[in-house]
Structure 1
Amino acid sequence: MTASKKTKSATVTRNALLEAAGRVMVTQGAKGLTLEAVAREAGVSKGGLLYHFPNKEALISGMLQELIDDKLLSLEYELEQDDAPNQPGHWLRAYIRSYKKLDPECIAIHFSLLAAIAENPELLEPVQKHFADRQKQIESTGIDPALATVIRLALDGLAFIHIFGLGVPDESLQKQVMETLLKLTQE
């Protein structure tokens, strides 16, 4: 097997393990997140999991990094799609649209936040830095920083009600909320 095939195979396995960890968190909660449970869910040996993640903290860190990477990738895509890149609120509009993907897989990786709190809150430091950086960006989008922050908090709230299943609005209303948030960036 060539080096690139090994790398690709390792990446696929690593991603499968992270997805499996998210599913375990969704179905079993933070207490159920064990290396054995993740290996079983992913259909790999515990040794195969340990090759990628030598301990539970490394697995949770990997989940958190996946969360950050997914958010950055989605935001980058949406920035490229914006039809008014030189207008105030450009970055914030892309940020809003990047939240539209709240499917079960996306929500599952958000459970890494709960795993980090349960295992070792210091694991949250990269995510805290990520959100602090996003807040600075939000405040400098060219629209009122208070309004921009209200929009960000609404988006975070929408994500968290999905995570906890707390009064999730139907899809139609969620779409209207997103459209309203987008309109707020243009006023």
Structure 2
Amino acid sequence: MMVAMAQEPSLLALVQPHHARWQACLEAHGLPTGAATLIRMAADGLWQAELLGLAASTPELRNRVISRLLELAGGHA
């Protein structure tokens, strides 16, 4: 995905609205901008690490990370 976007920067325009909506949704549920950004970026990093095979993870660890992100979000995800 990163290579594709590096070669064709216009592809970024396809994913930017998704991230903006996600950020706005978290903030609309009362999360401060910093907390919303942290949660969104952590979830995005988890997805990218799994997609690219960068992190050795177990389903249990993944579930614990997701549970913790939901706790930080106050159940607003």
The CA deviation at 1:118 is 4.7
Instruction: Work out the percentage of aligned pairs sharing the same amino acid.
Output: 36
Give the structure-1-normalised TM-score: 0.36
1:163 matches 2:51? yes
Letter in 2 for 1:132: A
Q: Which has the larger radius of gyration?
A: 1
RMSD of aligned Cα (Å): 2.1
TM-superposition CA deviations, 1:44-69 (whole Å, max 9, x none): xxxxxxxxxxxxxxxxxxxxxxxxxx
Evaluate the alpha carbon distance shift between residue 148 and residue 118 of structure 1 in structure 2; reply closer, same or farther with a 3 A threshold: closer
Unaligned runs of 5+ in 2: none
Look up the match of 1:184: 72
Moved over 3 A (4+): none
User: Normalising to structure 2: TM-score of the pair?
Assistant: 0.75
Question: When the two structures are aligned, how many residues end up with a matched partner?
Answer: 75
Distance 1:162 1:139 in 2: 26
Of structures 1 and 2, the one with the larger relative CO (CA 8 A, separation 6+) is 2
Structure 1: runs of 5+ lacking an equivalent? 1-112
Matches within 5 A, 1:97-108: none
Letter in 1 for 2:5: I
Q: Pick the aligned partner of 2:2 from 91, 114, 117.
A: 114
